[in-house]
Amino acid sequence: MCGIVGFTGSAPAAGILLDGLKRLEYRGYDSSGMALNRPEGLLCLRAVGKVCKLAEKVAAAPEELRRSCCGIAHTRWATHGAPLERNAHPHLDQSRRFAIVHNGIIENYQALRKRLTEKGCEFSSDTDSEVLAHLIAETYRGDLLAAVAAALKQVSGTYGLAVTTSLEPGRIVVARRGSPLVIGLGDGENYVASDVAALIAHTRQVIYLTDGEVASVTPEHVEIRDLDNLPVEREATGIDWDVSQAEKGEYPHFMLKEIFEQPDALANTIRGRLDFEMGTSILNGMNLSPRDLAAIPRIVIAGCGTSMHAGMVGEYYFEDIAGIPTRVEQAAEFRYRNPIIEPNTMVIPISQSGETADTLAAVREAAAKGALVTAICNVVGSTIARESGRGVYLHAGPEIGVASTKAFSCQVAVLLMMALLLGRNRRLSRTEGLALAEEIAKLPELVRQVLDRADSIRDIARRFAQYDNFFYIGRGCLHPTALEGALKLKEISYVHAEGYHAAELKHGPISLLDERHPVLALANDIPGKDKIIGNIQECIARRAPVLAVANPGDAGVRDLGCDVIEVPRSSRFIAPIPTAVALQLFAYYVAAERGCEIDQPRNLAKSVTVE
């Protein structure tokens, strides 16, 4: 949730660190800071608010300090301690020779703080993180790597950590447990970050640290060890994102850019994965033989937020297309409810970032119970992707906007291709499989048709932007789509929006309806439409303004006199994707009309790496 950046080389560090922080701002922030390492001492600058506030301080710092070529920096999303300057990172030890930036939570910080205070340490923040600076100073015997490893042995909790000391100019030590940390390899310079987005302007060669590892990073060397000081060999991974993918370009917001990227993102997700000869899909990353696939008795999907909603669409696919009993777990619940995992149960963690703490915990629980863990992730080399061992990447490119958009569409497309594969492995005929493969192949074009209607969706959104409460209703695969549409609206426009199964309204929520409480009904022409039309009539009878999503030329819906967002006609399995894109645009334009900070919605962070 917080972001870490570090640089060591021969170029001035401050500008590189600021640039990295700006690229990480999307993860959530309330303050930021940097420590520049020079033999004559550390320079630590911190500021509350956006990274531009820190940039102002850097610009005002004396020129000689800005020439430091090694430093660490941080954007903070407050957990322990209010968003004040004294709580912003970096934190220094008392001698001001050691600086740390930390993501995660130190669970035993109170006990450590008490012991250190009794020893005479003075703390200057309310954070859990500050203990790390004092601990490292206490354990230091001339080697920062050894000191960090020794300090971390006393710590319980999670960390992505970067440390530097004026006693060793040019050196940064990083460590990870439960919070991502990646090292970017340059020529005579090296980088560290919590997220590859901070690095891709400089290098595409990265090394991902795994839990329990510490690494020393200097301009010329990277050395990885475990906490027992044993050397670890790790190959670098190539990142295929380019810088423009991580920039807004001509779009006012990342979210809008990513909504409009969906035809290309879907094309990348689908490319080479449909087999029109056999009417199936080819998902090599699943690494399961037809015999393995046939032995899967049950599927459990785990995810959070948007990824969980995609999983809920997938539940329909696996049961309907492949006939495999499937359930979806909120990932946070997975390990606490002691789920039933039979031999060969396939557990599918879904995570755009591949770093969400709850989903990662579900992966570990599933693996411990002997499940076939098959992840769906976007970020290549992310922790969930690596620990799952098998899976399917989205290839959607970096998703920077805090509100997830293209990841949802591509997750649903992957789930559909998985269901096609499993279906063909069981009861689906070649003809049926072929028909589905052909529909999947048309997804980029269908989504393009939705985007072509963006102006009309914007006009409708402007009219509906005045309302403070919404219900979104749908049936079948469009029920989770309604949940996702409501989530999009509430997270970026702060409008209260609830998704319901359309049949559920009359079991309670309908009592809230009146002329100030609109209902957005997903009335695509798929099985269940007649029932939705009945539900719309119930809402209209309660004077609720109704906005329907429907297919072109659908007189049945238009005759009801409600506003309509048109999406192209498709089968019920395909419908969630173009419909979700229309709902993303609707939420975006409502938020824009209400003047909200779309890419950095309040209280939210892109990647939730704490439980």
DSSP symbol at 415: H
Stretch that binds ligand F6R, among 39-47, 86-94, 311-319, 345-353 (CB under 6 A): 345-353
Q: Give, as ranges, the residues between 307 and 336 that touch ligand F6R (CB under 6 A).
A: 307
Whether 606 is catalytic is yes
Pairwise CA distance, residues 569 & 450, whole Å: 11
User: Residue 46 or 606: which CB sits closer to ligand F6R?
Assistant: 606
Q: Which of 203, 218, 269, 353 binds ligand F6R (CB under 6 A)?
A: 353
Pairwise CA distance, residues 537 & 560, whole Å: 8
Catalytic residue among 257, 406, 488, 606: 606
Length of the chain: 611
User: Residue 426 or 602: which CB sits closer to ligand F6R?
Assistant: 602
Nearest residue to ligand F6R by CB is 305
Pairwise CA distance, residues 362 & 380, whole Å: 19
356 binds ligand F6R (CB under 6 A): yes
Element (H, E) at 98: strand 98-103
User: Residue 98 or 393: which CB sits closer to ligand F6R?
Assistant: 393
Task: Please name the amino acid found at residue 264.
Answer: D
Q: Give, as ranges, the residues between 54 and 93 that touch ligand F6R (CB under 6 A).
A: none
CB neighbour list of residue 431: distance below 8 Å, 6 or more residues apart? 279
Q: Which of 158, 194, 269, 351 binds ligand F6R (CB under 6 A)?
A: 351
CB neighbour list of residue 151: distance below 8 Å, 6 or more residues apart? 132, 135, 136, 138, 139
Stretch that binds ligand F6R, among 201-209, 346-354, 417-425, 556-564 (CB under 6 A): 346-354
User: Residue 168 or 491: which CB sits closer to ligand F6R?
Assistant: 491
384 and 355 Cβ atoms separated by less than 8 Å? yes
User: Residue 98 or 208: which CB sits closer to ligand F6R?
Assistant: 208
Helix %, strand %, coil % of the chain (to 5): 40, 20, 40
Q: C-beta of 62: minimal distance to ligand F6R in Å?
A: 41
Stretch that binds ligand F6R, among 269-277, 347-355, 532-540, 585-593 (CB under 6 A): 347-355
Give the distance, in angstroms, between the CA of residue 186 and the centroid of all CA atoms in the same chain. Answer: 26
Pairwise CA distance, residues 439 & 576, whole Å: 13
Q: Which of 70, 608, 609, 610 binds ligand F6R (CB under 6 A)?
A: 608
552 and 578 Cβ atoms separated by less than 8 Å? no
583 binds ligand F6R (CB under 6 A): no
Token digits of residue 438: 């052909």
Total residues in contact with ligand F6R, by rule CB under 6 A? 15
Q: What is the CA radius of gyration of the chain?
A: 25
The β-bridge partners of 497 are 470
Interface mask (CB under 6 A) for ligand F6R, residues 359-378, using x and -? x-------------------
Count Cβ neighbours within 10 Å for each residue of 254-280 and write b for 16 or more, e otherwise. bbbbbbbbbbebbbbbbeebbbeeebb
41 and 166 Cβ atoms separated by less than 8 Å? yes
Task: Please name the amino acid found at residue 568.
Answer: P
301 binds ligand F6R (CB under 6 A): no
Catalytic residue among 2, 44, 410, 477: 2
Residue 307 falls in which region: left (phi positive, over 0), alpha (psi -120 to 50) or beta:
alpha
Interface mask (CB under 6 A) for ligand F6R, residues 470-509, using x and -? -----------------x---x------------------
Stretch that binds ligand F6R, among 349-357, 427-435, 445-453, 540-548 (CB under 6 A): 349-357
36 and 92 Cβ atoms separated by less than 8 Å? no
306 binds ligand F6R (CB under 6 A): yes
551 binds ligand F6R (CB under 6 A): no
580 binds ligand F6R (CB under 6 A): no
Give the start-end residues of each E strand in 104-198: 159-165, 172-177, 182-185, 190-193
Q: C-beta of 288: minimal distance to ligand F6R in Å?
A: 23
Residue among 262, 265, 284, 568 at smallest CA distance from 417: 284
Interface mask (CB under 6 A) for ligand F6R, residues 385-404, using x and -? ------------------xx
Q: Give, as ranges, the residues between 87 and 146 that touch ligand F6R (CB under 6 A).
A: none
Whether 369 is catalytic is no
Active site residues: 2, 606
Binding interface with ligand F6R (CB under 6 A): 304-307, 351-353, 356, 359, 403-404, 487, 491, 607-608
